[in-house]
Structure 1
Amino acid sequence: MSDYAFQLLAIVLYMVAMLAIGWYAFMRTKNLNDYMLGGRGLGPAVTALSAGAADMSGWLLMGLPGAIYVNGLVSAWIAIGLTIGAYLNWLFVAPRLRVYTQVASDSITIPSFLDNRLRDNTKAIRIAAGIIILVFFTFYVSSGMVAGGKFFVSSFGYDYHTGMLIVSGIVVAYTLFGGFLAVSYTDFLQGLTMFLALITVPLFGMFLTGGLGDTIDSIKAVNPEHLSLFASTATVAGVVSSVAWGLGYFGQPHIIVRFMAITSVKETTAARRIGIGWMVFSLVGAVATALVGVAYYQQNGSELADAETVFITLGQILFHPFVAGVMLAAILAAIMSTISSQLIVTSSALVEDIYKAIFNKTANDAHYVFIGRLAVLFVSIIAAFLAWNPDNSILDLVGFAWAGFGAAFGPIILLSLYWRKLTNIGALAGMVSGAAVAFIWGKVPSLASALYEIVPGFIVCLLVAVIVSIATYKPNKEIEGEFDETLRRLKMEK
């Protein structure tokens, strides 16, 4: 077999595995709670790795190594900020959100939780949050489809549209039928694949570059500041902006929905340890891959045409073509895991937060599961239409969407879990103002270059929500009762 055939075989086997998991999840999906939240029965390992895989996307295997390859460790501040943010998210949000969403009328989406938690009879929060999720995640899904198409172009020379349709078709199929369980199980396998690939490549690569000492010497020969977090190119505003990416975690629906699905509060501790361990090793592996790549190309007197392909090229140099194909599957896993997670959250928003809220229709679970599957198909078609042109600037919206979700939802989630006096009007005002500030700030070049838009957006959302809530607060025995019940269950279950 040719190298091409071995690599393609690995990709095909990977995709067949994804479809098989989707079928298994389909057979286990009996009602709407199963389809949208897996029946709140995920174990800690699946919860942790599926959250990590849904989070990182192709950035972990291509974007971060590419930035480190070009700029050195000064580009690692984003990774540091994300690790801190993820840890705090697991520590402060996961346990309370798991309990509170069940206490608050067994809410299965973030907007429905806010609606139930704050007794918003107008449904304004639910609809507004659902629309925000629908719009931004449609573009997010589209960007993943673009990445999938370009993956097949760069790896196998396929036509862009063929590659995009292959990736989209596989992801849509297992998400459409298997729902949240399929997404979580496939994300678990994808997270494991990414982890093993990111550990293996730099370890074997260092043998090729002569060990740790020779590798460091070669990197310094390229640029003496390449191994410094505080290189001359670093600025205070730049470091703050990079670390501030961690704030986004509190408001990412496709990540924190995993906290709602875990079996129990007790399992969140184990899940946190697994998740943060996975994240640290994976990020270190991504950074090490880039640095080994710098040393390898310095020693061989050659240049890498595209810095973001350093993981791919090292995998092809180091391993048998079939193993290199598994490395390529790891990149595909990163892309597909994020698309599927965003699809299921968008489907949930359409059904639970827009369809139910607007039409106020009462039907059996089979009807809502059917509507949920139609929603996945609808969003996928729109996203594929947006992704059809590979030269679109859709990918530019990914960073904005992270900031938008973090600024719109992050402070509101934290306040809803820890502050009794948050009101529906305060939450709505904070959500809208945070999203607006993040949007406007991100679209003004002078502001965006000075400070990442999530910082002012997060602060404004927090201040507005607190001030408006204080002005509009009225005691509510039901809200107070649920808050106390959440604290009681937390003490019992820990």
Structure 2
Amino acid sequence: MSDTTFQLIAIAVYLAAMLGIGYFAFRRTNNIDDYMLAGRGLKPGVAALSAGASDMSGWLLMGLPGAIYLNGLIEAWIAIGLTIGAWLNWKFVAPRLRSYTAVAQNAITIPSFFEKRLKDNSHFLRIAASVIILAFFTFYVSSGMVAAGKFFESSFGWNYFTGLFVVAGVTLLYTLFGGFLGATLTDVAQGLLMFAALIAVPIVAIFQMGSIGGISESIKQVNPDALNLFSSFNTTNGFLAAVAIFSTAAWGLGYFGQPHIIVRFMALRSPSEAKTARRIGVGWMVLTALGAIVTALVGIAYFAGTPEKEITDPETVFLLLSQIFFHPFVAGLVLAAVLAAIMSTMSSQLIVCSSALVEDLYNIAGKKLSPQREVMLGRTGVLVVAVVAAVLALNRNSSILELVSFAWAGFGAAFGPIVLLSLYWRKLTSTGALAGMITGALTVFIWGNIDVLASNMYEIVPGFILNLIVTVVVSNATYKHNALIEEEFTAMEKEIEENAPYVAAS
């Protein structure tokens, strides 16, 4: 058999496994709580790997290695910022959010948590949050479909639309029927596959190429600053270099407001398990990011120093090294890891969009449905969002990276400060939260579309800061004592204190 046949067989095995997991989850989904939050029964390892896989997408296996291949370790600041942000998110948000969403009338979505936490009877806050989720995530899912189409086109010469619909179809099926549990379990399998690929490729490549010292010398010959994490200080003044590094690392701020990630916190079995999940999740993230970085550096030594080996697309360095140093079937599994990164993010986003449509827009009308009808409505929501995203993905020239960056900033700036204040500040009000959320989203939109501003500072920074300021000022101006809010906040804090020996870092 040809190399391509081996690789396609490996990918077919992977896709079949994802469908099998989706069917397993389908058999265990009985009501809307199961469909949207897996009945709050996730083990810490499952929650951690699921959050990591749904977070990283194809950026970890292609975008990050490609950026470092071109510019060296200076591009690693985004990974450093994200790792710090993920640790802070697990440490300070996960246990409190898990506790508070249960205390606040069993909120199972972020918009419903905002409403129930702040006792907003007008529903304006919940509706605004749902609209923001649908607007950003529909395009985010579309970007994943575009990436899938381009992946099959570049790897196997398939028609762009064929690749798009194969990946979209499989992802839709296991998400449509398996719900949150299906998306989560496939995330775990995909996270393990990504981990194995990102660890195996650089290790095997290093052994094949010789000593680490020799590889390091080859890298320096190609790019003397490739191994310098602070190389920007060599090309510009210190202040501007520091601002550039801060702006890049500021991606980590986005974690506090990413619905498809923090919903995993809500699904934990108990707040005390956040500590174990944090260690697993951040450990997975550190090792996979290091694997991606080392892969890129090895690629510089292998490809860039030899003109006849020079690659045209830096983002394919991970894929090319796997095809060179592994059997075609194993290389196919590495290619499947790229699909895993794309599909895990898409499935998580589809579930969040479905919950926004059903739980946060349809159910606030007060209509009562049977558990089976609610699940069916949830599946309809997944289908609707997927169809709209697929229509948008028909434009193959969509800018994937820019769209992902914009959506990440939008969620981080719109939701991040509200999530943090809702968990740590008793005086937060629904009016303040709504004003801050809108301020954050608008700031990202305006700042991100003004080149002179966006080129100097990532839009999440001004959006996050202005949201925080507006929310605090308006909340102080509109605060009124609410006995039920005080009671629930105290109950949440009491549960956290009782679990302090388990939640606190050792």
Above 0.5 in TM-score? Answer: yes
Tell me if structure 2 keeps the 8 A contact 1:208–1:296: no
CA offset digits 1:361-385 (Å, max 9, x no partner): 1222211111110010000110000
2:376 counterpart of 1:354: no
Hey, what's the Cα distance between the residues in 1 that align with 2:406 and 2:379?
A: 28
1:260 is matched with which residue? 266
Q: Does structure 1 residue 193 correspond to structure 2 residue 199?
A: no
- Preserved contact between residue 96 and residue 496 of structure 2 (Cα < 8 Å): yes
More deviation, 231-240/465-474? 231-240
CA contact (8 A) 2:143 2:398 kept: no
Cα distance in 2 for partners of 1:275, 1:152 equals 29
Residue matched to 1:97: 97
1:299 CA displacement: 5.2
- Using the size of structure 2 for normalisation, the TM-score is 0.96
Aligned length: 493
Aligned pairs for 1:358-437 (under 5 A) are 359-393=365-399, 395-437=401-443
> Which amino acid in the other structure matches residue 209 of structure 2?
T
Amino acid at match of 2:470: V
Are 1:315 and 2:315 counterparts?
A: no
Aligned partners of 1:62 and 1:442: how far apart in 2?
Answer: 24
Q: For residue 360 of structure 1, report the CA deviation from its aligned partner.
A: 2.0
Aligned equivalent of 1:181? 181
User: 1:394 deviation in Å?
Assistant: 5.5
Query: Counterpart amino acid of 2:303?
Result: Y
Choose the corresponding residue for 1:484, options 475, 485, 490. Answer: 490
Structure 1 residues 182-331: aligned runs within 5 Å = 182-231=182-231, 232-233=234-235, 235-298=241-304, 300-301=306-307, 302-331=309-338
| TM-score normalised over the length of structure 1 | 0.99
Tell me the equivalent position of 1:345. 352
CA contact (8 A) 1:425 1:468 kept: yes
CA distance in 1, matches of 2:303, 2:141: 35
For 1:21 and 1:311, the matched residues in 2 are separated by 27
Equivalent-residue separation in structure 2 for 1:250 and 1:6 (angstroms): 41
Query: Which residue identity does 1:353 align to in structure 2?
Result: D
| Superposition deviation, residue 438 in structure 1 | 1.0
- In structure 2, what is the Cα distance between the partners aligned to 1:72 and 1:24? 43
- Of stretches 230-239 and 47-56 in structure 1, the one that deviates more from structure 2 is 230-239
User: How many Å apart are 1:213 and its aligned residue?
Assistant: 0.3
2:375 and 2:400 map into 1 onto residues whose CA distance is 30
Contact 1:127 1:353 in 2 (8 A): yes
1:132 aligns with 2:132: yes
Distance 1:115 1:288 in 2: 45
SS at match of 1:363: coil
Q: Aligned partners of 1:373 and 1:353: how far apart in 2?
A: 15
Distance 1:196 1:173 in 2: 25
Task: Give how far 1:391 is off.
Answer: 1.3
2:30–2:375 Cα contact (<8 Å) kept: no
Q: CA deviation at 1:300?
A: 4.2
What is the one-letter code of the residue matched to 2:50?
Answer: S
C-alpha deviation, 1:393, in angstroms: 3.5
**Shift in CA distance, 361/394, structure 1 to aligned 2, threshold 3 Å:** farther
Partner Cα separation in structure 2 for residue 489 and residue 44 of structure 1: 18
> What are the Cα deviations for residues 13-33 of structure 1, in whole angstroms up to 9, with x where unaligned?
000000000000000001110
Q: Deviation digits for residues 284-320 of structure 1, max 9, x if unmatched?
A: 0000000000011145442111100000000000000
Distance 2:64 2:397 in 1: 22
Partner SS, residue 450 of structure 1? coil
Kindly provide the amino acid, as one letter, of the partner of residue 341 in structure 1: S
Contact map agreement 1:209 1:295 (CA 8 A) in 2: no
Whole-Å separation in 1 of the counterparts to 2:280 and 2:400 = 33
Aligned-partner Cα distance in 1 for 2:294–2:114: 41
Equivalent residue number for residue 38 of structure 2: 38
Deviations 1:387-408 (A, max 9, x none): 0121133552211110000000
**Of residues 339, 344, 348 in structure 2, which corresponds to 1:332?**
339
Mapped to 1, the partners of 2:35 and 2:174 lie a distance apart of 12
What one-letter code is carried by the residue in structure 1 that aligns with 2:271?
V
Equivalent residues of 1:434, 1:457 under 8 A apart: yes
Q: Distance in 1 between matches of 2:395 and 2:223?
A: 38
Asked if structure 2 preserves the Cα contact closer than 8 Å seen for 1:218 and 1:298, the reply is: no
Where does structure 1 lack aligned partners over 5 or more consecutive residues?
A: none
* Alpha-carbon offset, residue 343 of structure 1: 0.2
Contact 1:250/1:414, CA 8 A, preserved across alignment: yes
- After TM superposition, the structure 1 stretch with the greater mean CA deviation from structure 2, 207-216 or 404-413, is 207-216
Unpaired stretches in structure 2, ≥5 consecutive residues: none
2:476 equivalent to 1:470: yes
Contact 2:147/2:400 (CA < 8 Å) preserved in 1? no
